[in-house]
């Protein structure tokens, strides 16, 4: 039985001025766990920005559940069910953890009350009254993810969730994300440079190189393709 397509992407161009970043990015996904890997400058964040409407100079097709979303504003895309955890988290330093949920108001869905999210991210419960600026990097990332989930997205895009975090913090974050994945039917698109994190959060892997998708494999297959890992990610077999 085939699963309905959640996201369809066929980007022929995404540029900044005269600099073309994406040139041939074509893939589709169901409500699955998909990781996109690539070196710095490969076009990963531009791809996230194109899907979420933040990058306007994009040519091609981007559909969510069959509806064309290319050209829509980020707010419109969000209301169609695309959640986004951007690189750098973009939380509000002067707001408490609880206030990050309160400010969403009626956008929060009954399926994801704050207390349920605290069960998945228990570190946030202990810091619920703390200002975001006083949270650790890992806690800030958990807050950014929980905030995005609280509005009930059909697709959650996470851009470099492990960036700047210590290995032990990454382990805690991955464990929490896997708990979240098991508890939710939404699709997950995680963009990563950290191979280990991508393999632990996904069931399918794409590799983007110089603005093009060059690999599309099941995670278990990509995990053993040391030749591809070295060629496109610079990862040696010792990893």
pLDDT of residue 239: 43
Spatial separation of the C-alpha atoms in residues 15 and 223, rounded to whole Å? 32
Q: CB-based burial of residue 61 (10 Å sphere; 0-12 exposed, 13-18 middle, 19+ buried)?
A: middle
- Among 68, 30, 36, 59, which residue's Cα sits nearest to residue 160? 36
At 237, the pLDDT band (50, 70, 90 cuts) reads: low
Which value, in Å, is the radius of gyration of the alpha carbons in the chain?
17
In tens, the pLDDT along 6-54 reads: 999 999 999 998 889 999 999 999 999 999 999 988 999 999 999 999 9
Share of the chain above pLDDT 90, in %: 79
Angle between helices 137-149 and 167-183 (to 10 degrees): 10
**What's the sign of the alpha-carbon dihedral 227, 159, 174, 148?**
negative
pTM across the whole model:
0.91
pLDDT one-digit tens code per residue, 171-190? 988 998 889 888 888 999 99
Residue 224: count of CB within 10 angstroms of its CB: 10
pLDDT at 215 over 80: yes
Read out DSSP for 124-163? Answer: HHHTTTSBGGGS-HHHHHHHHHHHHHTT--SEEEEESTTT
Give the pLDDT score at 238. Answer: 53
Sorting pLDDT into bands at 50, 70 and 90, what band is 3? low
Q: pLDDT, tens digit, for every residue of 110-148?
A: 999 999 999 999 999 999 999 999 999 999 999 999 999
């Amino acid at each position: 039985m085939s699963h309905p397509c959640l996201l369809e992407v066929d980007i022929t161009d995404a540029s900044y001025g005269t600099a073309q970043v994406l040139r041939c990015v074509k893939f589709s996904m169901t409500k699955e766990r998909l990781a996109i890997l690539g070196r710095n400058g490969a076009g990963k964040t531009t791809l996230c920005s194109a899907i979420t409407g933040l990058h306007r100079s994009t040519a091609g097709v981007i559909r969510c559940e069959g509806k064309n979303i290319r050209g829509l504003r980020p707010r419109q895309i969000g209301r169609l069910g695309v959640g986004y955890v951007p690189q750098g988290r973009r939380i509000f330093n002067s707001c408490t953890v609880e206030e990050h949920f309160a400010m969403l108001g009626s956008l929060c869905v009954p399926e994801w009350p704050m207390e349920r999210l605290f069960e998945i991210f228990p570190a946030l419960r202990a810091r619920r009254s703390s200002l975001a600026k006083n949270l650790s990097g890992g806690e800030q990332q958990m807050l950014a993810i929980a905030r995005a989930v609280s509005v009930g997205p059909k697709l959650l895009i996470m851009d470099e969730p492990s960036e700047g975090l210590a290995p032990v913090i990454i382990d805690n974050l991955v464990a929490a994300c896997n708990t979240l994945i098991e508890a939710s039917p939404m699709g997950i698109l995680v963009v990563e440079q950290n191979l280990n994190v991508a393999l632990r959060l996904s069931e399918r892997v794409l590799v983007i190189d110089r603005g093009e998708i060059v690999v599309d494999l099941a995670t278990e297959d990509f995990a053993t393709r040391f030749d591809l890992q070295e060629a496109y990610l610079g990862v040696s077999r010792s990893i």
